[in-house]
């Protein structure tokens, strides 16, 4: 497999602000790659560095091996689905989709035929004559997708592609995007601040924090073995344990993480870790139990997930926590 | 109902004052139309002692009206064209990026219309005197284009602000070069705002008299012709006929400009 | 297909150049208008200043291009100071008149007008603003003439004695309205009124309804709310509008020439000095006066926060 996108020591500084700070990463061809992070973490700037709307302050970006330092956006065979879709308001849907082919000089009949094909692919056949203003948010998003894909880009960039959609539509689109990517085999790079979206769609992801990559790996790796406290905290809802508790659980004096679903409620006497239940949250498939652990600073709570069908302790009750030592993940990073 | 709170407080006195104020702004202009039909040509007697349509024919045949009309149209056309080019360029530059000196430049653009016309006029007059430039169509155009730039600029900048900046990037992303983006994306979206700006600029230039008196020398534009008639009246109703023409030539573009930019926050003309 | 597309033609080459050097494109765009405004406008203003430091040879009537303060000494003669004070007084009273007349219109349009009424108010202010200045002035010549509509209306309603009494007032009165300061003032107020309405309306529209409700909740009467909340919040708009009304009145020479007495204003002095009198240096010095006054005015207005309402 070839490398689709490669960053080596790329930085982008705006005055004093280091939006992207010495980032190196490789994205394999055909990957569904997610850039995950809170706003201001540098993920969107990285996307704009690939499309060419930002230029690196230092470092090199290669797309399929070619250094693109001197290549403006219009000559990069990379297309973007913008966060607000950025459809051309004065053109109808077909002309929007055919735009990239038009500026490359393709004849009208041919480009409209291809646009119609692409619209069929995103299940919008017959919508070609409408104006973007007449479409719903979900439909606009599909047009934006078709408009990008019709150019047969080597890499498709998606900037918070589902951010503006409501929950139900978002879930449907997640499946659809994934299926589309597998069918077309195009490298997808998408930016999101939603960890569920990143985990469920991507086959590799990079977690950004303050302009740097905190961790890069498969969703399973990042979820099960977060490299830093930030990742543990941001990806999913892991318990982040300070060094003294890690030690009480038999680990080294380092920060560690433990997933709520790895914890079992056991009698307090038998447990290395015990505390009183402070709150319950019913989640359908189970109940999330908040426990204030004895011997730690007040406010330091651990969450355990009790699967449906097992008895749930009541608030105020003192319980012990059992776990499989293999699930205790000790973080080497800070 | 909470949403009706606004309406409830409008007292009758306020309503009368507001609508009376609007009528005060409009009624005087109607008199111009009435007096174009009066048979009395030496005084402004009200009510007119009789009505006639003869003055339209008289005005049509007056040889001294046509050259000023042509000159005004010519000046307005050239000034508008120049202002549209310069105003669009500066709006484009100001919309693109923040750079050092932005504030100063926007002040410089507004200054010709913020300072009284007599200053702009006298300044140009001083410069022509120092550089010994003889008066011509171009000396008039120089002044008009200068204060028309801001009109086009205001319209263009307001529209650019409303345009999603993303569509320019989307165009580049899809492979269009800068010129294709300008032709296929920017101009179609900016077009009506530019047209509106151009029409307002045309109206402003066609009607301008204060700066023009300083830059025209012996030439006579239609407003200067009117001014002379106001100071030394001859056939008064003919002046009214010309006033109606001037009114129409400025009124129609203004109304069109309003409809071209309606619905946006940037409705044309708010910044004369 | 390669990840990088080939460069096709000059358009792509220039696009690449602009992308690599964004400041180059900026420079190319900003240079023509800046050169125009810099040369034509600032150049002219500089020429104006320069001229004001020249003087006119009293015997030959020729402008002598030598630096002198003679012209400014002449500017501060009693008769010229009269002109300046008269102009300032007129500008101030026109501004006051505009503010009083504009308020109900702006307030109604900002607070109560909705839907089509809002558009009607907007057009209703915009059209007189943009329609021909000379036509508007001319309309008032018709109205204010002795035999015109006001005289006729006074005759019909039997109020002629009142009109005569007003015209008999010292200083502001005159032979007829069209030859009195009162007439000049009325026309100025009419012509510049839209310039006051628009910024005032903009400022009033920024007063949130909730703030008025808060004031009422706290027990303020309508009058109190108006004095303590609405008026202070409308003030930046009034000041912004006053910049226009003050400046435009100060520089106008057409209105007092057509409607009013023979006493001159700054604009008329400039016009006559540069024209019939041929005394360009003194005309230039006269024109510097409104510039200085407006610079001071703008400075004060900026400190009062008026520019947010423009």
- pLDDT tens by residue, B107-161: 888 888 778 888 889 899 889 988 889 999 999 999 999 989 988 998 888 888 7
Helix (H, G, I), strand (E, B) or coil at C55: strand
What pLDDT was estimated at residue C201? 87
pLDDT above 90: residue C193? yes
- Rounded Cα distance between A213 and A23, Å, is 7
A310 and A207 in contact (C-beta within 8 Å)? no
Decide yes or no: CATH 3.40.50.1400 for domain C73-309: no
Closest CA to B90 of B71, B104, B75: B104
Cβ-based contacts of B129 with chain C (< 8 Å): 47, 51, 63, 280
DSSP type of residue C177: G
To the nearest whole angstrom, how far is the Cα of C169 from the nearest Cα of chain B? 24
> CB-side exposure of A268: number of CA atoms within 13 Å?
12
- For C41-50, C201-210, C264-273, C283-292, which range has the lowest pLDDT when averaged over its residues? C201-210
CB atoms A74 and C12 under 8 Å: yes
pLDDT above 80: residue B32? yes
pLDDT above 60: residue B3? no
Helix (H, G, I), strand (E, B) or coil at A311: coil
Closest CA to A256 of A298, A302, A290: A302
Q: Which string of b and e fits C267-287 if b means at least 16 CB within 10 Å? A: bbbbbbbbeeeebbbbbbbbb
Give the pLDDT band (50/70/90) at residue C223.
Answer: confident
A177 and A142 in contact (C-beta within 8 Å)? no
* Structural domains in chain A plus CATH codes: 3-233 (3.40.50.300), 241-330 (2.40.50.140)
Helix (H, G, I), strand (E, B) or coil at B134: coil
- Rounded Cα distance between A99 and A88, Å, is 9
- Percentage of chain C modeled with pLDDT above 70: 96
Suggest the residue from C6, C19, C33, C188 to mutate for an interface test with chain B (most B CBs closer than 10 A).
C33
What pLDDT was estimated at residue B263? 57
Helix (H, G, I), strand (E, B) or coil at C182: helix
Tokens 């020479």: give the residue.
Answer: C253
To the nearest whole angstrom, how far is the Cα of B264 from the nearest Cα of chain C? 12
Give the pLDDT band (50/70/90) at residue C298.
Answer: confident
- Rounded Cα distance between B171 and A28, Å, is 27
- pLDDT tens by residue, B181-216: 999 999 898 888 899 889 889 988 998 998 999 999
Between C211 and C114, whose confidence is greater? C114
Instruction: Say which residues have a Cβ less than 8 Å from residue A108's Cβ, sequence separation at least 6.
Output: A102
Tokens 């005084």: give the residue.
Answer: B43
To the nearest whole angstrom, how far is the Cα of A26 from the nearest Cα of chain C? 16
Q: Which H/E stretch holds residue A299?
A: none
Residue A217 β-bridge partners? A205
A24 and A7 in contact (C-beta within 8 Å)? yes
pLDDT above 90: residue C217? no
Tell me: cis bond preceding B219? Omega within 30 of 0 counts.
no
To the nearest whole angstrom, how far is the Cα of B172 from the nearest Cα of chain A? 5
Instruction: Say which residues have a Cβ less than 8 Å from residue A197's Cβ, sequence separation at least 6.
Output: A34, A162, A170, A174
Instruction: State whether residue B132 sits within 8 Å of chain A by CB.
Output: no
Per-domain residue ranges of chain C? 11-52, 73-309
What pLDDT was estimated at residue A34? 95
- Kind of pairing between the strands at A187-192 and A155-159: parallel
Instruction: Say which residues have a Cβ less than 8 Å from residue C46's Cβ, sequence separation at least 6.
Output: none
Instruction: Say which residues have a Cβ less than 8 Å from residue B104's Cβ, sequence separation at least 6.
Output: none
Note down pLDDT in tens along chain A; length 334 residues.
689 999 999 999 988 889 999 999 999 999 999 999 998 899 999 999 999 999 999 999 999 999 998 999 999 999 999 988 999 999 999 999 999 999 999 999 999 999 999 999 999 999 999 999 999 988 999 999 999 999 999 999 999 988 778 888 888 888 889 999 999 999 999 999 988 889 989 999 999 999 999 999 999 999 888 888 889 888 877 788 888 888 888 888 888 888 888 888 888 887 778 888 988 888 888 888 988 887 666 667 888 888 888 888 888 888 888 888 888 888 876 5
Q: What's the length of chain A?
A: 334
- Rounded Cα distance between A299 and C7, Å, is 61
pLDDT above 60: residue B1? no
pLDDT above 60: residue B105? yes
CB atoms A99 and B176 under 8 Å: yes
Give how far the C-alpha of residue B116 lies from the chain's centroid of Cα atoms, to the nearest Å.
16
Give the pLDDT band (50/70/90) at residue C231.
Answer: confident
B266 and C131 in contact (C-beta within 8 Å)? no
- Rounded Cα distance between A235 and A247, Å, is 24
Q: How many CB atoms lie within 10 A of CB B255?
A: 15
Between C163 and C94, whose confidence is greater? C94
Helix (H, G, I), strand (E, B) or coil at C20: helix
What pLDDT was estimated at residue B6? 42
Q: What chains are in contact with A, requiring at least 3 Cβ pairs below 8 Å?
A: B, C
CB atoms A77 and C2 under 8 Å: yes
What pLDDT was estimated at residue B268? 46
Per-domain residue ranges of chain B? 62-261
What topology does CATH give the domain B62-261? MetI-like fold (1.10.3720)
Cβ-based contacts of C7 with chain A (< 8 Å): 75
Helix (H, G, I), strand (E, B) or coil at A278: strand
């Amino acid at each position: 497999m070839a490398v689709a996108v490669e960053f080596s020591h790329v930085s982008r500084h705006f005055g004093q602000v280091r939006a992207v700070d010495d980032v190196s990463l490789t994205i394999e061809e055909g990957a569904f790659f997610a850039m995950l992070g809170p706003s201001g973490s540098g993920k969107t700037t990285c996307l704009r560095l690939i499309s060419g709307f930002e230029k690196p302050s230092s470092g090199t970006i290669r797309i399929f091996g070619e250094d693109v330092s001197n290549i403006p956006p219009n000559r990069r065979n990379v297309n973007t689905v913008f966060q607000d879709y950025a459809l051309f308001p004065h053109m109808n849907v077909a002309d929007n989709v055919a735009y990239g082919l038009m500026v490359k000089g393709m004849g009208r009949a041919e480009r409209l035929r291809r646009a119609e094909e692409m619209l069929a692919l995103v299940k919008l056949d017959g919508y070609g004559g409408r104006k973007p203003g007449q479409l719903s948010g979900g439909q606009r998003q599909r047009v934006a997708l078709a408009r990008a894909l019709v150019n047969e880009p080597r890499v498709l960039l998606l900037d918070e592609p589902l951010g503006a959609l409501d929950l139900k539509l978002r879930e449907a689109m997640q499946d659809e995007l994934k299926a589309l990517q597998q069918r077309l085999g195009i490298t997808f790079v998408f930016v999101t601040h939603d960890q569920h979206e990143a985990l469920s769609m991507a086959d590799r992801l990079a977690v950004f924090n303050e302009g740097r990559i905190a961790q890069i790996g498969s969703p399973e790796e990042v979820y099960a073995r977060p490299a830093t406290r930030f990742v543990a905290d941001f990806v999913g809802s892991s318990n982040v344990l300070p060094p003294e508790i890690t030690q009480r659980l038999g680990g080294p004096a380092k920060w560690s993480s433990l997933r709520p679903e790895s914890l079992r409620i056991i009698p307090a006497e038998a447990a290395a870790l015990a505390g009183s239940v402070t709150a319950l949250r019913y989640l359908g498939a189970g109940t999330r139990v908040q426990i204030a652990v004895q011997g730690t600073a007040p406010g330091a709570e651990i969450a355990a997930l009790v699967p449906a069908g097992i008895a749930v302790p009541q608030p105020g009750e003192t319980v012990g926590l059992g776990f499989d030592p293999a699930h205790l993940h000790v973080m080497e990073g800070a | 109902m909470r949403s009706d709170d606004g309406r409830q407080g409008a007292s009758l006195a306020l309503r009368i004052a507001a609508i009376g104020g609007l009528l005060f702004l409009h009624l005087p202009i109607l008199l111009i139309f009435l007096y174009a039909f009066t048979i009395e040509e030496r005084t402004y007697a009200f009510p007119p002692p009789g009505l006639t349509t003869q003055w339209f024919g008289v005005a049509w045949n007056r040889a001294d009206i046509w050259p000023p009309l042509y000159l005004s149209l010519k000046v307005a056309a050239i000034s508008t064209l120049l202002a549209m080019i310069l105003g669009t360029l500066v709006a484009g530059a100001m919309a693109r990026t923040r750079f050092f000196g932005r504030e100063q430049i926007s002040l410089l653009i507004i200054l010709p219309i913020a300072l009284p016309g007599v200053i702009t006029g006298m300044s140009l007059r001083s410069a022509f005197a120092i550089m010994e430039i003889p008066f011509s169509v171009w000396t008039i155009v120089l002044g008009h284009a200068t204060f028309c730039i801001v009109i086009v600029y205001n319209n263009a900048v307001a529209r650019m602000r409303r345009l999603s900046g993303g569509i320019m990037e989307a165009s580049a992303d899809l492979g269009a070069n800068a010129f294709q983006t300008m032709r296929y994306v920017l101009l179609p979206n900016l077009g009506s705002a530019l047209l509106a700006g151009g029409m307002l600029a045309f109206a402003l230039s066609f009607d301008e008299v204060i700066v023009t008196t300083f830059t025209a020398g012996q030439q006579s534009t239609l407003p200067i012709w009117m001014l002379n008639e106001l100071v030394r009246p001859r056939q008064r109703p003919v002046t009214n006929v010309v006033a109606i023409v001037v009114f129409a030539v400025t009124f129609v573009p203004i109304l069109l400009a309003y409809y071209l930019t309606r619905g946006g926050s940037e409705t044309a003309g708010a910044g004369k | 297909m390669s990840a990088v597309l080939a460069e096709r033609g000059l358009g792509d080459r220039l696009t690449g150049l602009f992308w690599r050097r964004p400041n180059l494109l900026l420079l190319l765009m900003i240079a023509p208008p800046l050169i125009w405004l810099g040369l034509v406008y600032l150049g002219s203003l500089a020429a104006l200043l320069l001229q004001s430091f020249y003087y006119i040879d009293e015997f030959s009537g020729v402008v002598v291009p030598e630096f002198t303060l003679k012209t400014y000494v002449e500017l501060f003669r009693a008769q010229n100071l009269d002109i300046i004070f008269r102009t300032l007084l007129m500008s101030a009273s026109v501004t006051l008149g505009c503010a009083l007349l504009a308020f109900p219109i702006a307030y109604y349009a900002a607070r109560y007008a909705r839907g089509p009424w809002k558009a009607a108010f907007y057009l209703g202010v915009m059209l007189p603003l943009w329609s021909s200045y000379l036509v508007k002035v001319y309309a008032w010549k018709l109205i204010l003439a002795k035999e015109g509509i006001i005289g006729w209306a006074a005759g019909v309603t039997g109020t002629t004695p009142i009109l005569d009494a007003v015209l008999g007032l010292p200083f502001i009165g005159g032979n007829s309205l069209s030859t009195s300061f009162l007439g000049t003032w009325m026309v100025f107020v009419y012509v510049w009124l839209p310039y006051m309405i628009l910024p005032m309306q903009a400022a009033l529209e920024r007063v949130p309804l909730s703030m008025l409700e808060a004031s009422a909740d706290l027990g303020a009467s309508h009058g109190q709310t108006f004095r303590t909340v609405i008026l202070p919040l409308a003030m930046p708009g009034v000041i912004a509008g006053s910049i226009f009304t003050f400046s435009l009145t100060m520089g106008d020479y057409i209105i007092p020439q057509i409607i009013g007495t023979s006493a001159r204003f700054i604009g008329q002095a400039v016009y006559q000095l540069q024209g019939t009198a041929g005394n360009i240096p003194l005309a230039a010095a006269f024109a510097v006066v409104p510039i200085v006054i407006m610079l001071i005015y703008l400075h004060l207005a900026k400190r009062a926060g008026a520019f947010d309402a423009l």
